[in-house]
Chain A
Amino acid sequence: MKVRLYRPVIALVLLCSMFSLLSINDALGQRGKKGTSSDDCQLDEAKKWYEEGELEKIESIEFCAKDPKSMSTEKRLEAFQLITESYLYRDKIGAADNSFREILKIDPLYQPDTVGDSYQSYDLIYLSKTFTRRPIFSMYFGGGLNFSLIEQLENYGVDNTSGTADHEGYLREVVIGANATVGFELPLLYNFDLTLDATFAYRTHAFGDSMYLSATTANPSSLITSDLRKDDLLLYSTLKFKENQFWIDVPLMLRYNITKFKGILPYVYAGVAANFLLYADLTDVSRRAAPESVRAELGGQSTTSSSIVITQTTNSPSLRTTVNVSFVAGAGLKFRLGRNFLYVDFRYTRMFLNNVDLDNRYSNSELLYYHGHVDNDFRTDNFALTAGFIKSFYVPRKKHQYNPIIINSKYSKFLEKERNYIKKETDEDLKRELNSTLKEMEQQQPSLIEDVQKGKTKGTKMLDDKKKEIEDIKNKRVKVEVNYE
């Protein structure tokens, strides 16, 4: 059973490695690709046309340049830069957008050279800023280590459960588990991503429980001479084991990316997860009665079991609940690797629900009758450190604040709103002034949207400016009225 459960982890790690190699090969292959067309789609002629001002002719190479086999990647990039520039000069902004999209298809992270390249105009630099470089979708694969902390919710031991003696607990021994992850991230607005993954986790913790004797005047506890714990002579029989759990977690998380650093993308995230327990067992189960010096044969006996399966078997029901719900939070760093990333992630998983199946708490006769153990109610906190690879998929697209359709729609709505306001306005002077301003704004609309589309101004800023302009008129009129009074 164990071997079979480890298989997915190994498979995942291999898959992750293959993807990494493929991606690197892919990137190298793209860079070194040579053109197959003998005239490179008339790129040299196009350059001449550009210098001679025959810009209309340049678009004739566009169809040819779209063919990835037509020439090398570098030359295709050069061709589309030239085509985009030509459209921009001729104010064909829609065509320039499409042409720039072709550039991003070739190199999703393309940035125009702002220093010393005669073909890259400010217009192209502005246009470039209107496109997002964020992937539309990413897949990630990773593996790492984890550590579990157990919170006891209710004590159900076979000895006193109401006492205050510190006789029981989830040991502070550090036992490390392992995890492997495959997941998807979907960029949302404002540097937020939605991520969903499937994490295969081997989680483990150690447990210890000592039975203890209640000391009373009638109890000859002074005879107890345990050598094991001089400080607490009343603890007399200690059970220890290591619990191993194999989980599949499916967390859905909202991630916030911090984009201030070049090449490194720190992020934080939080979400909820469904957790599915596949298998659990207890290993190295042992109870040992404390030896007593009062009588040679007294104490020192022990029980041992190398492994006890505590999830459902043909003979016994599961001692553990097989479904849990958890809160997940974490932080990490993404390191750019070409168009993909390597990442390191630290994740905290807080399971909400009791891990113990209440109906089956006493159902394992070996644990109950031979070792003398009853599970306490408990829940799990887990801390995982994972490293892995992110394969990103890109689709060239405008940033939200430069999207002409969105901004145009917002601008129209703004005008409509102001028109409605004017209808209700009683101050004729103000009405006139606002009407005049609005008319002016209506006339400006196409050119303003075009500026936004070109990247010369942010759509949101342009809208804010226009709103402020209207508000200023309204406020000015109010002030004048106040002055009259």
Chain B
Amino acid sequence: MLYLSKKNILFMLFVLIAYLSSSCQKDQISPANQEVAFVKYYGHVGDQTATDVIPTSDGGYVLLGSTNSYSAREEMDILVVKTDSLGNELWSSAFGRTEGEVDPDFRYLRFSEEGIRIIELPDQSAYVLAANRTYYDYPSASSEGPVGESKTKIVLYQLDYATGAPTSTSGIELMTTGTNSPFTEKVSDMKLDTAGGGVKFILTGYTKNIKPNKPDDDYSGFFDEKDVFTVLLNADFSIDPSWLNFVYGFAGSDYGTSVQITSEGYLICGISDFDHSATGQAADYVPSILVVLIQKSGGTPLNEKEYALKEYHFGGGYSVFDADNNKLTIAVNVDNALGANAEKGNVGLFQIQLSSINFTVVTPNSTDGIGCQYYDLGDINGSTGKEHLVESIALLPGDEGFILSTTQKSSLFESDICIAKFDRNLNVEEGWPYYFGYSDKSSLVLTNDKAGSVIPIISGTGNQINISGYAFTGRFGLGTNEMMGLVKLNLNGTLTP
């Protein structure tokens, strides 16, 4: 029989305690919940951009942008990335029109495509995206550089729901003025209209195929570079036969930035050159805020309003429509370089109450005469008076206010992403904005970031809707290369779990 002395018993006890101490360590580690916040990068070794992110019915996200990582040339392809709810890539898809076609001038063509808006179809059968395709003319296939950029066209793709593969590798190019039209058309926004149980897409942007001979054009179209472009497409991307008015504009340059679906019609928000000169004097065009309500059938304008301030050069025109309150909120920015005004570089919010087809400005606390409220969102270091370019605005359910994304430009090579939350009265909430980006003290190490869409992350339905955070995409300028990115912020606008 084994004799256990006190010494041996103590020693065994000592070893046992040591073993137990070691083996129980796992219980003391409690990893944080990664669902609360994350930062993700997507792409490859080339350059990526990102413009849009949408939540998908499976709780994940789809991001849309472009990439040249897989191209033999620098021209961009469309890039779509599907993620799970934690931002993990489930699939990615890169595609674009194949180069090498010869146009009527016998030039070698290459195409650069930029994804603008993506939509998940309600029956979850496919994703649909709108993009801009720019044509580059090369003298030949072996030429190093293009002769020039000939035109940009709107292109639509339908993607396989499970893999993201396009049903047509070249997509469907929008032909509003016939095949091989030389005019540039660009899309800025696309919405899905499911009224009546159908599937239609309403797009806005601009066209250079301007409407000629406009009234009050003293300069015979000299300043008239662009007009607002709007089109209603069927589910197969064919132009709705009822649609007659593709182009809308004035004697200056006009473009549509966003489109909203209201009960009265489609509401186009954008920027329009407004002539502040007195009659008979030289034109003094200044970009102003444009709101146009058009008929759902045919696109005929029902009401239009320009909100202009001399010396205020507005840009942006991203909007969001609160259907419950019939209220339109428009986000703009004031050009940092032009005009003699106190709001240079600042962001402006503008609210309009819709009553039938009539517009009433209802922006709270506005004192500028047209109804815009301005915000100096500063920069990542807390400095004020910096330049912001609005990129997206989203409505928060439950009358919780708005979430806005801007690109804060410090220089040609340095820009950061700014996400700001506003309450229902359009006040910036405490703790916001959140900034994404980096530059060192000597500005030698920079990140060139550009904001895309920002969305609230919503769970529940009806009266039980909850916001659990905010997600935004954009071009994230890593030190190595520019990436498509996705960030999920918590409710406080931080990445803290």
Contacts and interface: CB of A to CB of B under 8 A. Distances in A.
A133 B423 CA distance: 78
Interface residues of A, number: 68
11 contacts: A160-B89, A162-B88, A190-B7, A223-B72, A256-B14, A295-B72, A295-B74, A298-B69, A325-B28, A370-B479, A377-B29
B221 to A, nearest CB: 41
B46 A298 contact: yes
A366 B440 contact: yes
A46 interface: no
Contacts of B14: 192, 254, 256, 270
A284 interface: no
Given A158-B39, A294-B72, A368-B39, A216 B93 contact: yes
Given A270-B17, A327-B21, A365 B437 contact: yes
B41 interface: yes
Contact of B21 (A256, A272, A301, A354): A272
A481 to B, nearest CB: 28
B438 A218 contact: no
A302 interface: yes
B45 A236 contact: yes
Interface stretch (B30-38, B258-266, B283-291): B30-38
Contact of B39 (A270, A353, A354, A362): A362
Looking at A291, A325, A329, A372, the one whose CB has the most chain B CB atoms below 10 A away is A372
Interface in B56-113: 68-74, 84, 86, 88-95
Contact of B163 (A153, A216, A221, A270): A216
Contacts of A350: 22, 25
B20 to A, nearest CB: 10
B195 interface: no
Contact size class for B? Answer: 35 or more
B45 A289 contact: yes
B397 interface: no
Given A153-B29, A298-B46, 13 more contacts: A159-B41, A163-B88, A216-B93, A217-B165, A218-B93, A224-B70, A287-B478, A302-B480, A325-B28, A327-B22, A354-B29, A369-B449, A372-B41
Interface in A212-250: 213-214, 216-221, 223-224, 236-237
Given A218-B93, A370-B479, A191 B7 contact: yes
A425 to B, nearest CB: 30
A379 interface: yes
Given A213-B44, A270-B17, A303-B479, A161 B69 contact: no
A305 B444 CA distance: 12
B481 interface: yes
A261 to B, nearest CB: 17
B149 interface: no
- Looking at A254, A361, A369, A370, the one whose CB has the most chain B CB atoms below 10 A away is A369
Interface string A276-319: 00000000000111111011011111110100000000000000
A156 B14 CA distance: 38
B480 A303 contact: yes
Interface in B153-195: 160, 163-166
Residue from B46, B90, B476 whose CB has the most chain A CB atoms within 10 Å: B46
B72 A379 contact: no
B407 interface: no
A88 interface: no
Contacts of B413: none
Contacts of B479: 287, 301-303, 370-372
A192 B94 CA distance: 69
Contacts of B17: 270
A374 interface: yes
B91 A219 contact: yes
B28 A370 contact: no
A352 B24 CA distance: 9
A359 interface: yes
A416 interface: no
Contacts of B449: 369
B6 to A, nearest CB: 7
